[in-house]
Structure 1
């Protein structure tokens, strides 16, 4: 099986979010895929079946080092980059489309995740010493908590208690604020220690909630978001109805093959 490591949401190697991509001729066993994802040890590894009928959506699944997830942006971008941009994938979140923009970015067609207000006592204490004046809003999307802070510098300086964050219900926590640099509309960071990802470098799926959230607040339909992790990366996002377009570049940094001893058993 061909296997790759791709840095997503960046135009240079060793930045953005690295994802493993494994090409399968036929579906593989879930336990085997989980072990393989733990071996790659990236925040997500994508497994895509490329041996099916031409023209049909390709089955695609994503695994963190510890669990399977319902939606992953950067590993989908990485898979489309490996396969050649224009793709349709059959996933646990429905059919997802990928296309290539004129500027060379790969654009993902993902479901939007609107947010509703919620209490934030547990998550705020896990994030550190934040005053009431520093916290603008706390909301919940389908997958995550969203914490909007008053200033991007607070987002950049956060040092969360990962053990406490792991006890917060949901997949993870997105902390966000208005952009503080020219051309950057939104700043965010994403933490998901409960699914084996303490801090994700660039989280495409989190922007399914950030896109409608910030489009409403900033009065714009296309926004550039910076995820301010140590590696860093950018996501161009555009909400439209119940969908979100997420776009970014990707760079292949490793290409190889899984050895015969690591061959995937067939899914039963």
Structure 2
């Protein structure tokens, strides 16, 4: 029996230059012959929180159509898989500007090598926005997480933020609360599906320009993301909406530390621009795997 062609899947980790850190993503650079069912099956087989599929592209024009699949469903936008795909392309066609056409909209990405020769990518999000979380949303999320209202930082109010997809933003009052993450997976997944959230972004503010984050992703079949670029973009919009950053500011988000996969996301926010820029390195996890079906 044959159910589909063999497909090369590249494996990168994003928001780290260390293979043991960051958030792994699958990358398929030629998915032009794959339908949605096949892409979803491949994402489930790869098993990472996201796999990105380049479904069309113009190498000369450096413009590509990109889709993202978790093991359970398609997602409109994924930041770490965008960074991984951009670096994979830069390794093959050279650093420079790229444009990705995604279900969330156009995402420009600038790729370059830093002083150590490592490639990094800076994505520019679609316009961000943020609104206060409604009482019913907050109550349901806190119950699923096992958090109390006293666990929250009153200076950083709960919001639903958008940077391509929606994220619930909850700020913990202390680092200990963030470190102790033992939530009801099924209950939080149901809450997130009900309200259309992709992750719950849980943060703790160490300094005005340094935050720690954890991002449960049960709607994608994943307990937690070690680095979430889409949530970082949305969080930049959250900070801008609340007036918590100056006219132009850079903040750093450290994520994945409690999982043993440390990641660093650099977020640039400009109060005059609703778009947010998110920068991170990415590194290959080895030779591409060939996945798919063989005749048996």
- Return the TM-score normalized by structure 2: 0.80
Unmatched segments (≥5 aa) in structure 1 = 264-268
Please give the secondary structure, in 1, of the residue aligned with 2:53: strand
Whole-angstrom distance in 1 between the partners of 2:108 and 2:228: 18
Question: Judging changes above 3 Å, is the alpha-carbon distance between structure 1 residues 218 and 22 closer, same or farther for their aligned structure 2 residues?
Answer: same
Deviation by residue 1:141-197 (Cα, 9 ceiling, x = unmatched): 2312111122233212222221221121222211112026xx961111111212212
> Aligned to 1:108, what secondary structure does the other structure show?
strand
CA distance in 2, matches of 1:110, 1:79: 15
Structure 2 residue runs of 5 or longer lacking an equivalent are 1-6
Distance 1:79 1:9 in 2: 12
Deviations 1:7-58 (CA, angstroms, capped at 9, x unpaired): 1000111211000001216252110000011000100001114654631521
Summarize the alignment of residues 53-202 of structure 1 with structure 2, pairs less than 5 Å apart.
54-55=60-61, 57-84=63-90, 85-86=95-96, 87-101=98-112, 103=114, 104-118=119-133, 119=135, 120-132=138-150, 134-136=152-154, 137-142=157-162, 143-168=166-191, 169=195, 170-179=197-206, 185-202=210-227
Give the corresponding residue for 1:266.
Answer: none
The answer to whether the 8 A contact 2:142-2:149 is kept is: no
> What is the CA deviation profile of residues 192-234 of structure 1, one whole-angstrom value per residue up to 9, with x for unaligned ones?
2122122111100001121132353254610111114401211
User: 1:36-95 deviations in whole A, cap 9, x for unaligned?
Assistant: 110001000011146546315211100000100000000010001111043211111112
1:248 aligns with 2:248: no
* Residue range with higher mean Cα deviation, 197-206 or 102-111: 102-111
TM-score by length of 1: 0.88
2:240 is the alignment partner of 1:217: no
Q: Work out the number of aligned pairs and report it.
A: 261
Q: CA deviation at 1:4?
A: 0.9
1:111 and 1:217 mapped to 2: Cα distance? 20
Q: CA deviation at 1:99?
A: 1.0
Is contact 2:49–2:220 with CA below 8 Å preserved after alignment? Answer: no
Contact 2:27 2:85 in 1 (8 A): yes
TM-aligned CA deviation for residue 128 of structure 1: 1.6
What secondary structure is seen at the aligned counterpart in 1 of 2:279?
A: strand
Q: Distance in 1 between matches of 2:289 and 2:220?
A: 27
- The match for 2:51 among 26, 45, 51 is 45
* Cα pair distance change 1:4/1:162, threshold 3 Å: same
Paired residue for 1:235? 265
Structure 2 contact 21–263 (Cα < 8 Å) conserved:
yes
Matched, 1:17 2:7: no
Q: CA RMSD in A?
A: 2.4
Mapped contact 2:31–2:53 kept (Cα < 8 A): no
Quote how far apart the aligned CAs of 1:122 are.
Answer: 0.8
Change (3 A) 1:221 1:260: closer
Cα pair 1:112 1:208 within 8 Å, conserved: no
Alpha carbons of 1:72 and 1:260: their partners in 2 closer, same or farther (altered >3 Å)? closer
Q: Look up the SS of the partner of 1:78 in the other structure.
A: helix
